[in-house]
Amino acid sequence: MKRFRRHGHESQRDKHKQDLYQFNKTVEHGFPHQPSALGFSPSLELLAIGTRSGAIKLYGAPGVEFMGLHDENAAVTQVHFLPNQVELVTLLDDNSLHMWTLRAHTGMSELLEIGRFTLSGPPGAPPSVTRVTAVLAHSSGELLLLGTEGGHVFVVEVPGFRQLEENNISVEDVQNRIPEDYVGRRNLECVETLHENPLNPRQVLIGYSRGLMVLWDLDRQRPIQHFLGTQQLESVWWMEDGGNILSSHSDGSYCQWTVTGGDPKHVPKPILCLKLCTFALHTINVSFVLVSPSPPFLIFSGGMPRASYGDRHCISVIHSKTHEALDFTSRIIDFFVICEPSALVVLVEEELVVVDLQTEGWPVIQTPYLVPLHCSAITCSHHVSSIPLKLWERVQAVGAQQNTHYSKKPWPINGGQNLAPDPPQRDLLLTGHEDGTVRFWDASGVCLYPMYKLSTAGAFLTDADPNDNMNQGSEGEWPPFRKVGCFDPYSDDPRLGIQKIHLCKYSGYLTVAGTAGQILVLELNDEAAEQTVEATVVDLLQGQEGFRWKGQARLDVREEPVLFPPGFQPFALVQCQPPAVVTAIALHSEWKLVAFGTSHGFGLYDYHQRNKIMVKCTLNPSDQMALEGPLSRVKSIKKSLRHYSPDKLTKHDTRHHLQEINARLEAEALQEMELAPVQRKIEARSSDDSFTGLVRTLYFADTFVSDSSHSTPSLWAGTNGGAVFAHVLRVPSLERRAEDPVVAHAAKEIQLMHRAPVVGLVVLDGKGAPLPEPLEVAHDLARSPEMHGSHHLLVVSEEQLKLFTLPKVSSKSKLKLTAVDGSRVRRVGVAWFGSRTDEQLESSLVVLTNQGELHVISLPSIKMMVHYPCIRREDVSGIASCVFTKYGQGFYLMSPSEFERFSLSTRWAVEPRCLVEAPLQMRPKNPSSPVHRDQPDGVPTEHSSARQVMEHALLNDESEYMKISS
């Protein structure tokens, strides 16, 4: 008999779905992975970063963010804003050029690609003829000058990318107009740099890598003057007075040249030449000379003596008698200076650093975005919605005490307008790291802003290696080095790595669990306190013989009192034995209990009375991998890398290899613990599978376990082998809580037929709603659970959702998510959804599979509502890192340094809403006529004599500089 659906009912249901659910990837938090290019527009006050994956990201005032992605899978090598316009040009390493614009649409700007172009040369010409090495966005806003590997300069009209062949400057044109003795001695090689005359935009300086610089007249198509360097050219700086040029060279020298416009056949000499130090130097590959009214600044990168500082990445800043080498922990990509000069902005491989040049000591300015989330590798995440104001302010206050070393200056890049409304609530994202730190981030809006950093290392005696101090240096060392930035991938002891976090926003209690079986219980304190951390060792094997742990040893707890700074301070520690990775924790701050689980079992700890309540061993006797400890290999590999010969492996190489190894080991461990990502239809799994005793989820509930008349506190645990254990708890009344013990005894045990891993447990009340969080009802932020009518236990396994009635634990209904395509549930969470027009909220279950798909499932009917593709199925680490919020949003690591934020809700979505308008300056009517103009984008406006700059550098420290010629 056929069943016919009622059309009206389906239409109403579809409309209901559209009102509640809508999937969008909204914003990318963190630092771009593998940055490769930097650009800046002084007129728009926008910063641009290109990456090796082809992404282009723009940042202005906090909240002003744009992101674009090239279709080509190629690295961005250069980014250039068109002066005084809302367009920019990117160059990729496949030699293609792309034009982007910030176009206003419905009152907001969006970043759009509006054209692409590849330079074409004469038929049969070698690729070097058109391989672009230098780009000049002409101040007219209508021309691009493209210097190539073959030494040619091509002129292209924008935005249409039309080649103006009659204006091209061939290498033969240049060679025919310079002294014959120079041409006879060497080839010009590639065009290294292109610069406009600050006073006459129709004059362009062409710098060739072999050292020759030619001042070219675009109108008359001939050279005006040439400058002959004897060393390979690295960079050029044209002084604002238009009469002096500074060039830097591969031997560490700077030369000053006077622009006279004289006979192009005449060979001028540099009027001043300085060489940094007398040792073999790293190339000075980027340089700026900037001046304030007096005295001037000299800023350059490179120039470090190779023998002593071959592994350092430095930018030197010289001002009057002050000289510092800013020492970064990763490779320098590029830098620029915001004029006055007020700030130095440096893009390095792993972070963006902004240095305040107007405040004594040149402190770093705290960035509101692009903060390196991966200062130490991220190992876990935990999101807390709707933080109470009191707790928020306390966390802000202790965080402010940590940040006193930052500059008080405001953020100097403030382009565009942030049109997004103020966040409706205060949200925290907590990230655990490999070095044992937990970082608190303001996740309320577009900018993921750092609030506070907690370090757990102080409670332990660690394997800290003093030789790993990357900022070591001898007293009186030249030049004076200062470590800048916060990226530091080293961990003193990999056992410190944070694996699980749980924060109670109502009580201020925090639990943090680590790689070596340690669970810390912490309480927020506004003042520093000296205290001993009371340790309790819990044997999860319960004395069973014949088992020998082959993994890492546990961390040694400091027995003497420790002075903990203001913030979250540990007062109790549970140490699991064997010291395996903690795989699950749950905190119930009303009952003052913490549950914890590993691959060997789970236990319950009373942090009020500081004692163990119960332990349950779940280890399968045949499970040898659970005794090995799959993550124990990390330490030995790191040790071997840390003690590798420095002649063969630099610190940067070491960090790079460590990150690769960590990523590989984490992926291997995930596959070992959760099995292969894609498999067959549901079929029974063997009880001999690896890690069947591993505890995947823990859950506290006040529900009906023993009978249907009296609810009781309970603890539920789900394992990798498809088992669910329930323990009834007797928690003393508040008056007797300090004296009477908490008692737990086993009550129920469920074994799923197919033995699929249990990844989530939820108890639904009499109305089918999930039970509220601990203390949520007491703070009038949730209604009391319905205790009349049957409660239900929802068991979410990797392969299906199954609803059981309580207390009988009889099966009521189920939903097979994975019966056909072999996908498996990886993450699950309860979320509340509502329409934009209706205040009423309804709860649903959000599920992420190993295919990267998101499913929203209704409660209590457990029916599929919607599903969306979200993460690539090959992105194992992205899927494993996903965390859901209480209101239908989520985060996952799209790279080691970036969170992708998404929303499933029509009501709640955090995304950039901003507007960038073109500057008031208009394009010149006739770009061919020489005019005095404002400085092009990327060039400062202050100026003074180049000789004054050099003489200051020379006179302030004669021991450090040697005058070569004058």
* 10-residue averages of pLDDT along the chain (966 residues): 50 83 96 96 96 97 96 94 95 96 93 94 87 95 95 94 93 82 71 93 93 92 87 85 84 83 64 52 54 74 59 83 89 89 93 95 94 95 96 97 93 95 94 96 96 96 54 55 88 91 97 97 97 95 80 93 96 96 97 97 97 94 68 41 38 47 49 38 58 95 92 97 97 94 96 93 96 93 90 95 94 80 89 88 95 95 95 95 96 96 94 92 42 38 41 41 30
Distance, CA of 353 to CA of 756 (rounded, Å): 47
Distance, CA of 459 to CA of 782 (rounded, Å): 37
Distance, CA of 727 to CA of 705 (rounded, Å): 9
Rg of the Cα trace of the chain? 32
3-state secondary structure of 928: coil
Phi, psi of 587 (to 5 degrees): -120, 130
| Residue (of 918, 914, 877) closest to 27 by Cα position | 914
Which residues sit opposite 438 in a β-bridge?
432, 454
Whether the bond into 295 is cis, omega within 30 of 0: yes
Phi, psi of 458 (to 5 degrees): -60, -20
Distance, CA of 592 to CA of 323 (rounded, Å): 55
Distance, CA of 51 to CA of 79 (rounded, Å): 10
Q: In what order do the strands lie in the sheet with 222-228?
A: 191-197, 200-208, 212-217, 222-228
Quick one: pLDDT at residue 272? 58
Q: Are strands 534-539 and 567-577 parallel, antiparallel or unpaired?
A: parallel
Quick one: pLDDT at residue 204? 96
Write down all domains in the chain, each with its CATH number in brackets.
120-275 (2.130.10.10), 376-403+424-472+492-617 (no CATH), 698-820 (no CATH)
Phi, psi of 672 (to 5 degrees): -65, -40
Residues 6+ apart with CB under 8 A from 67: 28, 55, 56, 57, 58, 111
| Residue (of 104, 110, 88) closest to 159 by Cα position | 88
Helix, strand, coil % (nearest 5) of the chain? 10, 40, 45
Distance, CA of 398 to CA of 389 (rounded, Å): 14
In 10 A of CB 410, how many CB atoms? 9
3-state secondary structure of 673: helix
Residues 6+ apart with CB under 8 A from 113: 68, 70, 98, 99, 100
Q: In what order do the strands lie in the sheet with 55-59?
A: 35-41, 46-51, 55-59, 65-69
Distance, CA of 249 to CA of 649 (rounded, Å): 27
Quick one: pLDDT at residue 728? 97
Quick one: pLDDT at residue 273? 62
Q: Are the CB atoms for 433 and 498 separated by under 8 Å?
A: yes
Which residues sit opposite 380 in a β-bridge?
432
Residue type at 401? Q
Quick one: pLDDT at residue 264? 61
Which residues sit opposite 569 in a β-bridge?
523
Residues 6+ apart with CB under 8 A from 428: 383, 384, 387, 395, 440, 441, 442, 443, 451, 503, 505
Evaluate if pTM is beyond 0.85.
Answer: yes
Residue type at 896? P
Distance, CA of 625 to CA of 600 (rounded, Å): 11
Q: In what order do the strands lie in the sheet with 343-348?
A: 332-338, 343-348, 351-356
